Amino acid sequence: MTMADDLRASVRGLLESAAPEAEVRRIADSPSGFDAGLWGRLTGMGLPGIAVPEEFGGAGAGFAELGVVLEEAGRALLPLPLLSTAVLGAQALLLSGDTEAQATCLPQLAEGRLRVAVGGLGRAACSAVAGPRGWLLDGIVDGVLDGAGADLLLVFATADEGLTLFAVEASAPGLSRTPLRTLDLTRRQARVELHASPATLIGTAGDGDRVAAAVLDRALAAMAAEQVGGAQRVLEMAVEYARTRYQFGRAIGSFQAIKHRCADMLIDVERARVAADAALAAVDAGTPDLPVAARVAGTFCGEAFFLAAAANIQVHGGIGFTWEHPAHLYYRRAKSSQLLFGSPDEHREALMRLWEGSRG
């Protein structure tokens, strides 16, 4: 077995024992949508800090290893802030170049003591003004992933110098956070409102466009890995049901229509896996084609997961539409994750712009 295989086996074993479907539903239905005990077990394995450099207390692994963890998290519909903290938060800090903020925040993040949420990644909805007592932020940011329970908010806001990254403490005056009711029951989002809220500059004023673009590339690669995990799981669910569900004295998997549907799911999943692996490898290699690889992954992996989740419901028939069956949880996650960092159409438009830019 390779190191990646060992990591996958360890993470899957933990999630199968500690986060089965019943536990996922319980956490998702809880007021906070968070379970400190399960988060502690993830922290015990070093998962929040797996891609954090060793100098900041992390494991120092790359995105390939982080992708393995996220694939297993997607498979289990893990309802914890792994994507928001281990990917968005950690990468925003690392890419900012702010060594002081990194030294302060990343060790706590790697130890699981600091949950971080990032707002305004897609578009800035806040303004920042420098005053005699420091920076103040005003505005409303919707759809902040795990924003209601985060200990620290990293917010992209528009200052005179341009888009800039700021840190806002959860206890900051003028800050309010409202949980949103969303399609995906297993992934919390929040509306964050700031009214003259004190903030700390992260990195360099006006450098936010560069940081946001780089974080988005990595977010798409990470999300692709998670989507592959979810798609693989619904494929397995559909195949298992097709083998064990009998109609007219035969397993429904023997019917040509079901065979073709499962075969199409397999093709979509494997195609998505190639795209996700390419994006993760591009992050680790630091290649200039990362924006292309990330958006290809954002297109194919999001569509593959959604199509597989929909097909899984169809294979299950009537039972697949019931509240008690987990198929709808994967369907909700698939559609939500497909749109979280931009729709497939938006990724295709971005690819066209990148292609046109490469032609000079």
Give pLDDT tens digits for 144-155.
999 999 999 999
List strand residue ranges (DSSP E) for the chain, in order.
116-119, 126-131, 134-145, 152-159, 162-169, 175-179, 189-202, 246-247, 250-251
What confidence tens digit (pLDDT) does each residue in 69-90 have?
999 999 999 999 999 999 999 9
Contact at 8 Å (CB) between 264 and 294? Answer: no
pTM above 0.85, yes or no: yes
First to last CA, the chain: 46
Closest CA to 55 of 110, 95, 92: 110
Nearest to 203 by CA among 271, 283, 105: 105
Question: Of 156, 75, 61, whose CA–CA distance to 110 is shortest?
Answer: 61
pLDDT at 172: 97
Structure confidence by residue, pLDDT tens digits, 196-212:
999 999 999 999 999 99
What single-letter amino acid sits at 40?
Answer: G
Largest CA distance in the chain: 79
Among candidate residues 41, 59, 39, 40, the one with its CA nearest the CA of residue 51: 59
Shortest CA distance to 155 belongs to which of 131, 119, 190? 119
Q: What is the pLDDT of residue 279?
A: 98
DSSP 156-200: EEEETTEEEEEEEETT-TTEEEEE---S-TTS-EEEEEEEEEEEE
Decide if pLDDT at 360 tops 70.
no
Helix and strand counts by DSSP (H, E) for the chain: 12, 9
Q: Element (H or E) spanning 130, and its range?
A: strand 126-131
Give 1: exposed, middle or buried? Use CB within 10 Å, 0-12, 13-18, 19+: exposed
Residue 133 is predicted with a pLDDT of 86
Query: What number is the average pLDDT over the span 104-122?
Result: 96
* CB-based burial label for 148 (10 Å; 0-12, 13-18, 19+): buried
Q: Are strands 134-145 and 116-119 parallel, antiparallel or unpaired?
A: unpaired
Binned at pLDDT 50, 70 and 90, residue 2 comes out as: confident
* Residue range 32-42: mean pLDDT, rounded: 96
Pairing relationship of beta strands 152-159 and 116-119 according to DSSP bridges: parallel
Tally of CA atoms within 13 A in the half-sphere of 346 that contains its CB? 10
Provide the Cα torsion 333, 72, 179, 102; round to 10°: -140
Asked if residue 250 has pLDDT above 90, the reply is no
User: From CA 240, how far away is CA 166, in angstroms rounded?
Assistant: 48
Give the pair of three-digit tokens for residue 42.
Answer: 């993830």
Show the domains of the chain with their CATH numbers: 3-110 (1.10.540.10), 116-208 (2.40.110.10), 209-358 (1.20.140.10)
DSSP 112-126: T---EEEESSSS--E
Q: Which of 85, 67, 80 is nearest to 41 (CA)?
A: 80
| AA letter at 31 | P
